[in-house]
Amino acid sequence: MILSYSIDFSALEKCVKRLNPKVALITFAPGLFGARAQVVEALERLGVKPIVSAIPSYGTCDLHLSEMSAVQADVVINIGHHWQGPEIGRVCFVNVEFMFNVANETSALLEGLRGLNISRVAVLTISSYMSLTKELVKALEESGISVARPRGIAGHWEYEVLGCNYLPAYTTGPVDAQVFIGNSRFHAIGLYLSTERKTLMFDPESMSLLDIKDEAEKALRASLLRISVASTKNKFGIVLGLKEGQLNPEKTRLLSERLIAHGKNVQLISALELTPESLDRFPDIEAFVETACPRIPMTDTGFRRPVLSYPEGLGLLRLLNGKDVGNPYRMAVMY
């Protein structure tokens, strides 16, 4: 059960001390706008004028730098994502963690793993569950379950994965199962599809341990269907995402050239947000491939024509070349 969340105010204070802003643009991860009053108050106490963006930030890839200059702010304060690498633009990341009653979570996880006869696991998570994850790892080891240590992604914590980067899971060696701590089905499904290894999602809120295989294979079937339908189309929109960390002109160019070589008609499109409504402005286009984020086609079910992510776009090219598509998500880093 979530008790509360904890905002890393020390990171906020360090940011203000280091960059000495007069005006700060605050961006929130989806679901964290409820922290607005606390963050605004903290900034005002530090003598900084806050401007709150109504547009969510979806990750360390989504910096809002153009918005920062449009509103004449000196920094962006990104609430809800974690980054500990070299400074990116004038963006400060302030992590937010969910707090739990660890004793309850520990016994639920231990009971679930013992019931499945699992004795060696890899544990992976996202930044908002990091403190809980460290507590759970300690408790698992003290209870005789061996935990493989992953190598972290540069700029991120040891157990942390991103929806487009599952590299840590590739560094743990053989395990009976990998356990994703958190309630993001997208990340758990991505972890399974990326590694094709037994993946359990431990949701600390409901304290349930779920084998994600069935849901992941359903997502894979939907992905293969999108690719297959797209392969029959002639008019393609290749979408270049404009968010700073999602800007992939080389990949857009590669897809475009290869599709043209297969006789397809290609329209290049740029978009900050890719939604069913934004694609409705292109009624003549029969299928789209976006190079912004693998999450878009997987989690947005409202698209009325096939929309493929970049890994699926590569799968489409394999299919057009007469090859087996396989699992387009079987890779550590998707971008």
Question: In the complex, which residues of this chain contact ligand SF4 (CB under 6 A)?
Answer: 58-59, 61, 162-164, 246, 293-295
CB of 31 to ligand SF4, least distance (A): 14
CA distance readout (Å), 168 to 136, 198, 255: 18, 15, 28
Q: Which is nearer to ligand SF4, 50 or 311 (CB)?
A: 311
Residue 265 region by backbone torsions, left for phi larger than 0, else alpha for psi between -120 and 50, else beta: beta
CB 238 to ligand SF4: min, Å: 17
Buried b (16+ CB within 10 A) or exposed e, 6-35: ebbeebbeebbeebebeebbbbbbeebeeb
CA torsion through residues 185, 191, 193, 196, sign: negative
Q: In angstroms, what is the minimal distance from the CB of 4 to ligand SF4?
A: 25
CB of 294 to ligand SF4, least distance (A): 6
Residue 291 near residue 270 (C-beta atoms within 8 A): no
Q: Where are the beta strands (DSSP E) in 69-170?
A: 75-79, 91-94, 96-100, 120-125, 146-148
Which of 292, 306, 287 lies closest to 237 in space, CA to CA? 287
Distance, in Å, from the CA atom of 105 to the CA atom of 108, rounded to the nearest integer, reads 5
| Short-list 174, 158, 112, 166, CA closest to 139 | 112
- What does the block give as tokens for 315? 């799968």
- Which is nearer to ligand SF4, 264 or 295 (by Cβ)? 295
Measured from the CB atom, the residue of 136 and 274 that comes closer to ligand SF4 is 274
Count of helices and strands (H, E) across the chain:
11, 15
The least CB distance from residue 30 to ligand SF4, in Å, is: 10
Of the two residues 116 and 333, which places its CB atom closer to ligand SF4 in the complex? 333
Q: Closest separation between CB of residue 68 and ligand SF4, Å?
A: 18
Closer Cβ to ligand SF4, 53 or 231, answer by number = 53
Contact 311, 331 (CB under 8 A): yes
| 241 versus 306: smaller Cβ distance to ligand SF4 | 241
Between residues 78 and 246, which has the closer beta carbon with respect to ligand SF4? 246
Beta carbon of residue 293, minimum distance to ligand SF4 (angstroms, whole number)? 3
Which residue number is nearest to ligand SF4 in terms of Cβ?
A: 163
Do 209 and 118 contact (CB within 8 A), yes or no? no
